[in-house]
Structure 1
């Protein structure tokens, strides 16, 4: 009998509770909520890609840059970012094509010139790389120590073909980050 009395008491207690859905789940059903999503803003693919590059997540950065290309088109920033990600992934042919396209879009975009020089150094075209680094250095008005160092290394390689970049652990490349800010990444 005690069991029945306890069960009835619990039943009456539960009957007094009304079932409420969470405030965000009004009219929930098996389908996703509807509404105006045009007011929602996503994070810029370039910003996400730059953060991923800084963290060494080059493949994910490439995907973020491709998303940015879909949203913004192939701007100089997007092309340079794609070239930089492919450079870090060792896809030198793709990187060179994208960086050359970036330079065609904007011939004053310093990071694209510098990164193209890095690609040319990696492929053994030291003479062309030194010319590219000179252009990047001139466009930057000599402000960047990293571009100066890249130019110095290229000229040293021309003067002394036995000079090896592998001995120098401080190889740099330059990636554009935001409005005129540069993020210097140490090469692997």
Structure 2
């Protein structure tokens, strides 16, 4: 695996845009986005590792889970902005995990499970900050959203067996925090 800012295997089009999000275990996050936006403008989504520290050798699941790399398990999304807005994507992002917990989602603990939005343009960074403020007000009043918002600096694709893992392994582990919330956290 080699690093870049864009997954070398992510499908894109000349008009597609990208966003990279981290919301805990990447298997469930990938599944929710693909299921929710499959026919609504999602072009592709890949799981991988974002914004860690440079290390010797390839970035692997085992190294990320060791806690020594500071990479987040993340999902890189390619979408058609004429059919799907970044605001819609981020609304779902904030509702499919608990962005008020530091470095954890349910039983999953460690920096790899942090909540983060890694933007690919300054404009998208501003939209992410607005989405965070709106979600704070609408979905998490009385709690502090701790989601990091920063530019994507480095990306490694997750290993092949992690891509579409829950589709390939229907009984596989799925973080209990990955569901679409319909009411605010109280």
TM-score with structure 1 setting the length: 0.25
User: Of Structure 1 and Structure 2, which has the larger fraction of its residues in strand?
Assistant: 2
> Quick check: which has more Rg, 1 or 2?
1
User: Of Structure 1 and Structure 2, which has the larger fraction of its residues in helix?
Assistant: 1
